[in-house]
Structure 1
Amino acid sequence: MDIVLLIIGFILMLVGILGSFLPVLPGPPISWVGLLLLQLTSAVPQNWIFLGITGAVAIIVVALDYIIPAMGTKKFGGSRAGMVGTTIGLLVSLIFPVLGIFGIIIWPFIGALVGELINKADQKTALKAAFGSFMGFLTGTFLKFLVAAIFLGLFIAKAWEHRTGLFPLLD
């Protein structure tokens, strides 16, 4: 059973990293569930303080993911239309991966710009607001990715530390 929990936990860690970029998946909470599954194995001693701290970090990052883009948009004079455009641009980059990794950067900016142009007549203001929406989006995405990657590192470190209990044949 430990091997099944370890494999499912590792898959959740990878899905959590993917969720850092996909707006439909909450990356850090999914990664946290992977940490929880690792803690539920008989080989890894349960550490509820560790789970509590990492769980709190996951919840804080999810909350900040809503706050940071709004702050970036507001600071640069943007609107909700710019934020919606950013999300639509991200989805376009995932559905049509023509530009590869650059598409994840370019399409959200184009989406924010189009959203702001639809909402405002002034091109200069729309460009500035689109930049703010885009920077807020990038900041939130980077924060989610960073936390999910740290959770993956913790998962691997804990699994490695208790590898003989997880894989008895290694003894």
Structure 2
Amino acid sequence: MDYLFWFLIGLAFVISFIALIYPILPGVLFLAAGFLIYGFAFSFEPFTPLFLTVQILLFISLFVVDYLGNAYAVKKKGGSKAALWGSTIGLIAGPFVIPVAGILIGPFLGAVIAELLFQRKGMKSAVSVGIGTVLAFVGTTLIKVFTQALMIGYFYYQVL
């Protein structure tokens, strides 16, 4: 039975990384699910107040980095709220419409189209905003990969 629980914990952690490519999946919740599976299957004893504080702060940072990174890039490139919404919609829809490449093409097209339609900006300006959203997505994704790996590593350090 222990093997089944460890498999489920590992699966939850793997899905949390897949969620970086398919943002419709709640990656952070899969991390939490892995921790909870361990707690219910084995023990919550390793989850000290320090462990919980660190994990909660890292959970919060995942959300903050995700939102602020994209918002900062759009603003820095002179984009509007419409571009922010367009890139977010493109980020969610892109991987389903265009598998693999859609994760980068979706936010780009979403931001560009939003800028062209709602802000009536020129193509050069809209493309600049689109590039900024893609660069922000790549940067925040790298930060999230590192943060999630840190969270999982700290979990294993505590429980093993």
TM-score range relative to shorter protein: 0.7 to 0.9
Native 8 Å contact 1:35 1:151 kept in 2: no
Q: Secondary structure at the match of 1:101?
A: coil
Question: What do residues 98-138 of structure 1 show as CA deviations (whole Å, max 9, x unaligned)?
Answer: xx533322232122211211122322221222222222222
Q: 1:110 and 2:99 equivalent?
A: no
1:9-68 Cα deviation digits (max 9, x unpaired):
222212211222333333234313313432454378513222321221111221221111
Helix, strand or coil: the match of 2:51? helix
In structure 2, what is the equivalent of residue 72 of structure 1?
73
Q: Does 1:12 align with 2:12?
A: yes
- 2:42 alignment partner in structure 1: 42
C-alpha distance in structure 2 between counterparts of 1:141 and 1:112, whole Å: 18
For residues 2-151 of structure 1, what are the structure 2 equivalents within 5 Å?
2-42=2-42, 46-48=46-48, 49-97=50-98, 100-118=99-117, 119-151=119-151
Q: In structure 1, how many angstroms separate the alpha carbons of the residues matched to 2:12 and 2:75?
A: 34
Q: Distance in 2 between matches of 1:4 and 1:51?
A: 25
Shift of 1:75: 0.9
Does the 8 A contact of 2:87 with 2:108 survive in 1? Answer: yes
TM-score normalized by structure 1?
A: 0.73
Unaligned runs of 5+ in 2: none
Instruction: Give the total of aligned pairs.
Output: 158
**Closer, same or farther: CA 88–133 of 1 in aligned 2, 3 Å:** same
What SS does the corresponding residue of 1:24 show, helix, strand or coil? coil
- Cα pair distance change 1:156/1:56, threshold 3 Å: same
The structure, 1 or 2, with the larger RCO (C-alpha pairs under 8 Å, 6+ apart) is: 1
The whole-number CA distance in structure 2 between the counterparts of 1:150 and 1:61 is 12
Partners of 1:44 and 1:7 in 2: CA distance: 18
Q: TM-score when scaled to structure 2?
A: 0.77
- Structure 1 CA distance, aligned partners of 2:30 and 2:75? 29
Answer with 1 or 2: which has the greater Rg: 1
Residues 86 and 110 in structure 2, CA contact (< 8 A), matched pair in contact too: yes
